[in-house]
Amino acid sequence: MKSVFRSAICSTLAFSLRSLNHIPNRNSLILLPRYVLVSPSKLSTLTSMATGDSVSHSPHSPALHSLEKQFEEFRHQLDDSGSLRERIRTVASEIESETRLIHSCLLLIHQSRPITEVLEKAKGQIGVLRELYVKLAEIMRECPGQYYRYHGDWRSETQTVVSLLAFMHWLETESLLLHAEAEEKLGLKPLEFGLDIEDYLIGICFMSNDLPRYVVNQVTAGNYDCPRKVLKFLRDVHAAFRMLNLRNDFLRKKFDGMKYDLRRVEEVHYDVKIRGLTMSGNSTGYQEGDEGRS
């Protein structure tokens, strides 16, 4: 029993060694999912690898040999991380085309199709997204502690996903989709593969960019109460963002853009107000929303 336990530790060390070298090599790709089940043989190879370099320049092995030995190892590791990256990118591009599908569904909202109908279709697609993120999580499970190493390969796709989910959530509840809710919808388990906060925040900024267009089209369709609601929502979100000390990066830039969305919505709200336009009991599924708020 003890020996098994020790081997468990050893292999773990072997992994962390490798994941310090930050590239799971073939062994680890096989081993990672199940830690303890390590065959003694494999174990020895692991440990030898763990200590390989120091061995390699023992007086008995010439410098050149240890040099080749090291680069041979690097080659495996770079190849592994390369193929890993390939697999990640494949899933990421699947996510991307899935989001395009969802986006097309949601675009109908601008042609003032009944919200319920539009949401129906769009929500039908979320399951696929969910599965893709499970795939991604599985891939990342092969290289613990390297989430941020490959983060760049899925982050922009994920930001778009968040913006779509948040927009759908607004349509449904007229409230902001929370970070935890987003993870829930995508079946992300924080302990394994979570949603990066900045990706979430950038996604919210993206959603905000769509709101002025939405408001304009809703008013055109006679939904005169929409600007007021969106304005209230956008002001809350904007105020919430202002609580954050953003450093001078992409998120900051996106957030700075939010104020223009806010202004545009205010203008539309102004147009409606100054013309004394009021809800003429529209039929775009806002009744409950209205009772709830106005």
61 part of the interface to its own copies, by CB under 8 A: no
Q: How far is CA 73 from the centre of its chain?
A: 32
Among positions 243, 281, 288, 291, the unique one binding its own copies when judged by CB under 8 A: 243
Which range binds its own copies by CB under 8 A, 40-48, 114-122, 127-135, 170-178?
170-178
175 part of the interface to its own copies, by CB under 8 A: yes
Query: Which lies closer to its own copies via its Cβ, residue 70 or residue 123?
Result: 70
Among positions 117, 263, 278, 280, the unique one binding its own copies when judged by CB under 8 A: 263
Cα–Cα distance measured from residue 90 to residue 16, given in angstroms and rounded to the nearest whole number: 26
Cα–Cα distance measured from residue 210 to residue 212, given in angstroms and rounded to the nearest whole number: 6
- Which candidate, 20, 42, 52, places its Cα nearest to that of 143? 20
Among positions 114, 124, 127, 190, the unique one binding its own copies when judged by CB under 8 A: 190
Cα–Cα distance measured from residue 212 to residue 257, given in angstroms and rounded to the nearest whole number: 12
216 part of the interface to its own copies, by CB under 8 A: yes
237 part of the interface to its own copies, by CB under 8 A: yes
60 part of the interface to its own copies, by CB under 8 A: no
Name residue, tokens 């023992």: 58
78-113 burial, b if ≥16 CB within 10 A, otherwise e? eebbeebeebbeebbebbbebbeebbebbeebbebe
Q: Please, which of residues 139-158 interact with its own copies by CB under 8 A?
A: 140, 144-149, 151
Binding string, 103-142, against its own copies, x = CB under 8 A? xx--x--xx----------------------------x--
Name residue, tokens 């304009």: 216
Cα–Cα distance measured from residue 204 to residue 255, given in angstroms and rounded to the nearest whole number: 9
Among positions 120, 236, 256, 290, the unique one binding its own copies when judged by CB under 8 A: 236
Cα–Cα distance measured from residue 132 to residue 252, given in angstroms and rounded to the nearest whole number: 29
Which range binds its own copies by CB under 8 A, 40-48, 97-105, 113-121, 124-132?
97-105
220 part of the interface to its own copies, by CB under 8 A: yes
∠ CA 78-84-89 to the nearest 5 degrees? 125
Which range binds its own copies by CB under 8 A, 40-48, 121-129, 153-161, 238-246?
238-246
**Min separation Cβ 131 and its own copies, Å:** 19
Among positions 44, 116, 173, 294, the unique one binding its own copies when judged by CB under 8 A: 173
- For every residue of 141-179, DSSP letters joined together read HTSTT-HHHHGGGTHHHHHHHHHHHHHHHHHHHSSPPPH
Binding string, 13-52, against its own copies, x = CB under 8 A? xxxxxxxxxxxxxxxx-xx---x--------------x-x
Dihedral angle sign, alpha carbons of residues 183, 188, 192, 197: negative
Which range binds its own copies by CB under 8 A, 39-47, 124-132, 154-162, 234-242?
234-242
Burial of 166 (0-12, 13-18, 19+ CB in 10 A): buried
70 part of the interface to its own copies, by CB under 8 A: yes
Among positions 42, 45, 47, 56, the unique one binding its own copies when judged by CB under 8 A: 56
Query: Which lies closer to its own copies via its Cβ, residue 7 or residue 115?
Result: 7
Cα–Cα distance measured from residue 170 to residue 200, given in angstroms and rounded to the nearest whole number: 15
